[in-house]
Amino acid sequence: MKKIIISIILFIFANIVYGQFNKLVVDASISKAKIQPTMYGIFFEDINFAADGGLYAEMIKNRGFEFEEPMMGWLEPNTNRFSLNKNSGDAEIIKTQDSKSNRNICRVSINNDKRYVLLNEGFRGMGIKKDALYRLSLNASVQSGDIRKINFAFVNKDGKEFGNSSIMPDRKNWTTYTTKLKATATEANAKLKITFEGTGVIDLDMISLFLEDTWKGRKNGLRKDLVQLLYDLKPGFLRFPGGCIVEGRTLAKRYQWKNTVGPVEDRTVLINRWNTEFKHRLTPDYFQNFGLGFFEYFQLAEDIGTEPLPILNCGMACQFNTAELVPLDKLDPYVQDALDLIEFANGPVSSKWGKVRRDMGHPKPFNMKYIGIGNEQWGQQYIDRYKIFVKAIKTKYPGIKIVSAAGPYPDGELFDYAMDKMKKLYADIVDEHYYKPPEWFRENTTRYDSYDRNGPKIFAGEYAAQSVAIASPDNKNNWECALSEAAFMTGLERNADIVVMSSYAPLFANANAWQWTPDLIWFNNLSSYGTPNYYVQKMYSTHRGTDLLSISFEDGKTVTGQNGLYSSVVKDSDSGELFIKLVNTSGKLQQVFIELENQKLADKADVLKLTSENLSDVNSFDNPNKISPVESQINVENNHIKTGIEPYTFLILKIGLKQ
């Protein structure tokens, strides 16, 4: 009896001092599945000012005066503090007949030399950087009088100028004028001030301001820091443009890709569906000007070396809103949009849409391989429409893989119905969405273990742990959520034979204008940072590997959360390495002893560790790397790896394989 008590005490003591002991076995001889290059990707949606006021580097809000309130973003000259005199001048909106999309122009009448002021407030201000160069352009048509010069200046909140330039408008014909401004200070909340020399009347349109240093220096470009964060993910695909934004609250307000290509001034501005969706986060100034349209999207995918995955409306408006439906016999234009998009991406320059792509500067096809039909639609109405799209697409483009919807939830009646139908229809890839509490992610790593291996492939298309409740404004991108996602992702990886794509959602949030949290990347007008969730995604996607191997306890059981330990392992045949992912979601140290069967290991292993003391810890603008990967090395002895995994830690062990 005494002996038993002593053993129990010793066991408890050892457990406290040395932590939980786990012996794991990796079999390197059998590739259980190929890991698809698309396994870890990006979900982009224009929510949270992700495009205008975010990734798209335009700094002028409502540059074409096309918002529903055409002077939104432009401060009333006679009511702001910069105005010097009520009668100095006037700005009025003129509706033109010239083009369906670019309807409005701003007619400015100047009565007093240098006394009339027009200000643009930017997207919650403009982030201006000292010594950086900014490219300003505008279209102007002189109507009468003698306006000699238009001056442009950055101003801070006190109205102090810190960088200026000017143009001399001299033509009656619409002319594009450009100039550059160099900032002499850094300011997070600047405005652009426009003043006029001389008197007269002039029409203005498309007043545009870009930092010169965009991604790849493109004129109609993207914010470099934000693209860099995407590039660093080495993503397998880029889904675009959403999300519910694809559906629209009504069919009339759905996303239509054809309105987003061609000259930027001809792209029809549309209210953003997230504009007033959440009463607690109203953003009435949220519109889509589509400067980041489908051409720029394909170009971005190409730039960051990833597969484009466009998602198109399937004749259904958002079922959470109006649920408007296109009758089945009127679906042709929607189906045609899908066929034309494939032609735009892949068609020869001799084709109608291939020519549009060429005219925009990309004669070579984008080689698109996937297309999504509908966002998170559900029910019979979706299936009826999906079938029509599939028939048309597969007939004309048999090689294109189609992503279909499974509704907004990962289980329940709508989900079961969709999955059953998709299996019977031999769907290529089904898109599942789950916004769930962190514990759900820890408890569902075996979700795909029991999926039918002969059924459709799976795209875990939108997921994120919600610390409070789905889309609650109090949700945080905290360490508990990120760690739980890391644990869950071992389950995605262990099922790489059927899970072929996955992406966290949403991607971006403007810290001053968001609607939905949590989000992968946060930014303001000057800077940006990756959340702990971002680093989890990055660690997986940059250690994707090519082949799934097995890792189990000595008794053959898979490592799926016993004592808070989760694991998956892949081999990278190209680099000749093993990537062992280990997640400890418990508050205890875990000792692991990993034995490798049927393969010799190198003498050292790199360790990539992501951890934080408190589950409530977050990254922030002030401390962007608080939770970010830290590298070290350990020795490998006798083909065994011994390591301790601290509480609340995600590790990747990276080990070379000997021939």
Nearer to ligand AHR, 291 or 506 (CB): 506
Instruction: State the residue number with the nearest CB to ligand AHR.
Output: 243
Locate 240 and state its tokens: 């675009």
Angle between helices 532-541 and 479-494 (to 10 degrees): 20
Buried-state track 46-59, b at ≥16 Cβ within 10 A, e below 16: bbbbbbbbbbbbbb
Nearer to ligand AHR, 109 or 377 (CB): 377
In the complex, the smallest distance separating the C-beta of residue 254 from ligand AHR, rounded to whole angstroms, is 13
In the complex, the smallest distance separating the C-beta of residue 462 from ligand AHR, rounded to whole angstroms, is 5
Q: What is the C-alpha separation between 205 and 191, in angstroms, rounded?
A: 18
In the complex, the smallest distance separating the C-beta of residue 380 from ligand AHR, rounded to whole angstroms, is 20
Distances (CA, A) of 369 to 160, 198, 209: 52, 56, 35
Distances (CA, A) of 272 to 47, 80, 324, 383: 8, 27, 18, 27
In the complex, the smallest distance separating the C-beta of residue 354 from ligand AHR, rounded to whole angstroms, is 30
In the complex, the smallest distance separating the C-beta of residue 465 from ligand AHR, rounded to whole angstroms, is 13
In terms of Cα–Cα distance, which of 54, 48, 53, 189 is closest to 473?
48
Q: What is the C-alpha separation between 225 and 227, in angstroms, rounded?
A: 6
Residue 243, preceding bond cis, omega within 30 degrees?
yes
In the complex, the smallest distance separating the C-beta of residue 578 from ligand AHR, rounded to whole angstroms, is 34
In terms of Cα–Cα distance, which of 644, 631, 591 is closest to 23?
591
Q: Which residues bind ligand AHR (CB under 6 A)?
A: 45, 47, 242-244, 375-376, 408, 433, 462, 505-506, 516
Nearer to ligand AHR, 43 or 116 (CB): 43
**Which one from 376, 480, 485, 493 is the annotated catalytic residue?**
376
Calculate ∠ Cα 587-552-479, nearest 5°.
Answer: 30
Any catalytic annotation for residue 413? no
Locate 449 and state its tokens: 């273990």
Nearer to ligand AHR, 277 or 285 (CB): 277
Element holding 39 (H helix, E strand): none
Q: Are the C-beta atoms of residues 114 and 199 closer than 8 Å to each other?
A: no
In terms of Cα–Cα distance, which of 529, 481, 526 is closest to 509?
529
Beta strand ranges found along 237-348 (DSSP E): 237-240, 270-271, 287-288, 307-312
Q: What is the C-alpha separation between 126 and 492, in angstroms, rounded?
A: 41
In the complex, the smallest distance separating the C-beta of residue 134 from ligand AHR, rounded to whole angstroms, is 32
Q: What is the C-alpha separation between 139 and 134, in angstroms, rounded?
A: 17
**Local structure of 550: helix, strand or coil:** strand
Catalytic residues, by residue number, are 376
